[in-house]
């Protein structure tokens, strides 16, 4: 009988990272500068391991290749999605990601469209989302002149906000923000600006100005989101985005919530609370904050019970 795949995260040290992934989620960290929890990942820079069941100890990338039936026999060579939790103790670099065509031709991997759910944000916290340049020439001039305050578009954020960040969008997460990020499985980032900061050895990080000019969408246009919410007694399902690459939902469980699958497999991350996942009459799994799992192909319906908040995603139209 099919069963969910619970995953062991991989942690990434970052110049802007901190310790909130330990204090907020209880993860055991080896550094005081952990910026990213790669929660559901088959990317070679951080592959998650299955923690339970018949596939315990298997790496997710190997499982994708050796047992495609778990994922509905997909056509893609690589697992297409990546779920992260980011702790921005300091500002992230201002950056932009390529689309699939540019990413594959220049970096040998997928482009990177992503989205953010704001788990928490300190008062006054902001993100950079878009820019004010009207042409590539103006964008280059403002970058070369260091006119960052005039170029970059800053937006205040709060807990529960959601942002869709298509490839080509100049962006950065500001300090004091924790997010859950759903993205294409790519680690290609082009840095536009890094606040001229240096590491402990006095080295600044590489910038990628020409690549950024190549891939940035000009002018910036905010994507139109049609966020919907369906209530089931005290529980609810919020649909944030249905895109080519991923569909993303929030399952807010207050009592019982019935879920029906609409895709070959589903990714899920518990960001708050405690409860149970029930499949059929005989399978019950305890869930708590910081757990991440995949519901594989063959499980069409399940029940969530308890008091918890889960961010879930499914492969989008391009990956079905």
Task: Tell which phi-psi region holds residue 174, choosing left (phi > 0), alpha (psi between -120 and 50) or beta.
Answer: beta
Among 104, 114, 102, 294, residue whose Cα is nearest residue 215 = 102
Q: CA 37 to CA 9: how far, in whole Å?
A: 6
- Beta strand pairing call for 81-88 and 177-184: antiparallel
Q: CA 164 to CA 144: how far, in whole Å?
A: 28
Q: Of 153, 154, 191, 320, which residue is the catalytic one? A: 191
Q: CA 240 to CA 229: how far, in whole Å?
A: 9
Does residue 191 have an active-site annotation? yes
Joined tokens for residue 220: 């910036």
Catalytic (active-site) positions: 191
């Amino acid at each position: 009988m099919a069963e969910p795949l619970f995953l062991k995260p991989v942690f990434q040290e970052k110049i802007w990272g901190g310790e909130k992934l330990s204090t907020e989620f209880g993860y055991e960290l080896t550094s005081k500068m952990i910026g990213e929890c790669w929660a559901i990942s088959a990317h070679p820079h951080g592959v998650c391991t299955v923690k339970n069941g018949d596939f315990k100890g298997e790496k997710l990338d190997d499982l994708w290749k050796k047992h495609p039936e778990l994922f509905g026999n997909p056509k893609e060579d690589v697992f297409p999605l990546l779920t992260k939790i980011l702790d921005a103790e300091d500002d992230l670099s201002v950056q932009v990601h390529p689309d699939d065509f540019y990413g594959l031709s220049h970096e040998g991997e997928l482009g990177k469209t992503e989205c953010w759910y704001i788990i928490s944000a300190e008062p006054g916290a902001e993100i950079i989302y878009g820019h004010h340049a009207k042409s590539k020439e103006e964008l280059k001039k403002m970058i070369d002149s260091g006119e960052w305050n005039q170029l970059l578009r800053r937006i205040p954020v709060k807990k529960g906000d959601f942002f869709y960040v298509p490839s080509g969008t100049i962006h950065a997460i500001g300090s004091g923000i924790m997010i859950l990020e759903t993205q294409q499985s790519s680690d290609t980032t082009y840095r536009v600006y890094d606040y001229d900061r240096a590491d402990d050895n006095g080295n600044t990080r590489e910038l990628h100005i020409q690549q950024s000019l190549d891939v940035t969408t000009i002018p910036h246009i905010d994507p139109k989101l049609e966020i919907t919410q369906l209530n089931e007694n005290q529980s609810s399902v919020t649909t944030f985005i249905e895109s080519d690459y991923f569909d993303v939902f929030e399952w807010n469980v207050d009592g019982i919530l019935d879920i029906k699958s609409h895709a070959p497999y589903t990714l899920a991350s518990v960001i708050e609370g405690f409860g149970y996942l029930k499949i059929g009459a005989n399978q019950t799994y305890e869930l708590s904050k910081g757990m991440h799992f995949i519901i594989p192909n063959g499980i069409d319906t399940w029940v969530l019970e308890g008091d918890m908040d889960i961010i879930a995603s499914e492969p989008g139209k391009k990956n079905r």
